[in-house]
Amino acid sequence: MLGRTLRETLRINMKKEIPALMKPTFVWGRRHSVSVALKQGQITPTELCQRCLSLIKKTKFLNAYITVSEEVALKQAEESEKRYKKGHSLGDLDGIPIAVKDNFSTSGIETTCASNMLKGYVPPYNATVVQKLLDQGALLMGKTNLDEFAMGSGSTDGIFGPVKNPWSYSKQYREKRKQNSHSENEDSNWLITGGSSGGSAAAVSAFTCFAALGSDTGGSTRNPAAHCGVVGLKPSYGLVSRHGLIPLVNSMDVPGILTRCVDDAATVLGVLAGHDPKDSTTIQDPVKPFTLPSLTDVSKLCIGIPKEYLTPELSSEVQSLWSKAANLFESEGAKVTEVSLPHTSYSIVCYHVLCTSEVASNMARFDGLEYGHRCDSDVSTEAMYAATRREGFNDVVRGRILSGNFFLLKENYENYFVKAQKVRRLIANDFVNVFNSGVDVLLTPTTLSEAVPYTEFIKEDNRTRSAQDDIFTQAVNMAVCDQQLLTVAKWFEKQVQFPVIQLQELMDDCLSVFENEKLASVSLK
């Protein structure tokens, strides 16, 4: 049943260069290596947790975390350590530090959605995906930053401030800037992480955790993964439970996975996937944990290149890397062919209508009565509603609510919402037709360009940026693609050997703690 249940949509990250692998500077960069070290007693969960907490504090300037759950994590590490000593490990994630985007409910830990509307809100329960990770012994390091209510593509519009891309402070980026003779102040010219799951992507990229949860409605996991140089996986709708994910667009929201390698993403997906009685949209078939086979022969694969994705706005660098990736497959014997997704040009407009309509409906629950922010006005119930929502939501959220309510007006419903649903079906059929034609994998960019400096990003408004940055990612959220891509992605990752971020000062600090000879064997694969 693997072919039917593993219905993930993975955008292979074309934002990274394709040179030989640089020497790793971090001995426990991947979850698999650390899991082996934990089982062999080379490191304890408490030591691992403390090291990640130290890195979180050291990288606080990145603003990746909204809440750091230090006491919770250390207590979980202590329990994990007891299990390892007894030989009763819960699995591959036992003792592994993780982070969770701050739009997933976490019992006893503040969940804000980076909004004044939910600031101070502490849920009484865990989201299903969070509970599944905790049941496997994972250590919750904290809640990560995002665009307010996950509406954005830069992680710049939350009330806690923008997230900074760890690559802005890497040795590679500094050398690149020197070569280009940039003289701008580094403190004001850092790169954006992408969004809206920028905090989770930055947390993984900066080695403060080994996996993180994001959410993906139109690209919010894959976009920041590309910009931060990590793996971003959007499971197909229904494969992973949405229960406890504060909704943005019910018909498109999917919990996303961010890790530093494809194998780790597959491990986390194996834990999270499956039916949830609390979410009626999840698949009914049981999903068993799995490991990815090592693909050695790609000659039987057919790789599709959507011609509509070759847009004038696509940067020359991304276009060049896209071609190199296609040539790599072709040189190894795979068939690379141009395909057509003819309704791509309508997808952004269609997505905007459907997204804002569902946003308007979902945001109606935040009225100041049951939970969340409530204004001090006592003039009337209507005045209290209006003041609460004006104070609680930022301009981006209010704008989407207004747009959605316009599309849902009686006189507009047929002309906008119903038509958008029909176009959505055409977009979904485009993907079905391509895969039915014999294509196994679609190879596309994730974003139009590399991560841009914050000062350049904010020159355009949120809506314009989102429309631009989601062009390659949002269409598939309106479709269902039953394709096994993780195995191909693992092969691609091995062939390309992506560079590892070099945060030398931070890494030296971490390595000093693990100088003993036993840990010398715990290295990146």
Q: Where are the domains of the chain?
A: 31-289+297-349+419-524
> Which of 33, 196, 403, 466 is labelled catalytic?
196
Other CB atoms within 10 Å distance of the CB of residue 312 = 5
Which residue positions in the chain have pLDDT lower than 50? 1-28, 482-483, 511-525
Give the global pTM: 0.90
pLDDT at 512: 46
Is 323 annotated in the active site?
A: no
What's the count of helices (H) and strands (E) in the chain, helices before strands? 19, 10
The C-alpha atoms of residue 358 and residue 367 are separated, in whole angstroms, by 16
Q: Is position 340 annotated as part of the catalytic site?
A: no
> pLDDT tens across 307-322, in order?
999 999 999 999 999 9
Q: Smallest Cα–Cα separation from 219: which of 465, 28, 427?
A: 465
Both structure tokens of 236: 């197909």
CB atoms under 10 Å from CB of 448, counted, come to 18
Please say if 220 is a catalytic residue: yes
Q: Are 154 and 69 in contact (CB under 8 A)?
A: no
Which backbone phi and psi does 417 adopt, to 5 degrees?
-65, -50
The pLDDT of residue 373: 96
Q: What is the pLDDT of residue 293?
A: 84
Q: Which of 220, 121, 108, 109 is nearest to 163 (CA)?
A: 220
Adjacent-strand bridge partners of 442 = 304
Say which DSSP state 166 is in: G
Calpha distance 391→376 (Å, rounded)? 11
Catalytic residue among 33, 80, 101, 347: 101
pLDDT over 70 percentage in the chain: 87
Can you read off the two tokens belonging to residue 485? 């891509």
Of 33, 220, 241, 466, the catalytic one is: 220
Correct CATH for 31-289+297-349+419-524 of 3.90.550.10, 3.90.1300.10, 1.10.1060.10, 3.40.720.10:
3.90.1300.10
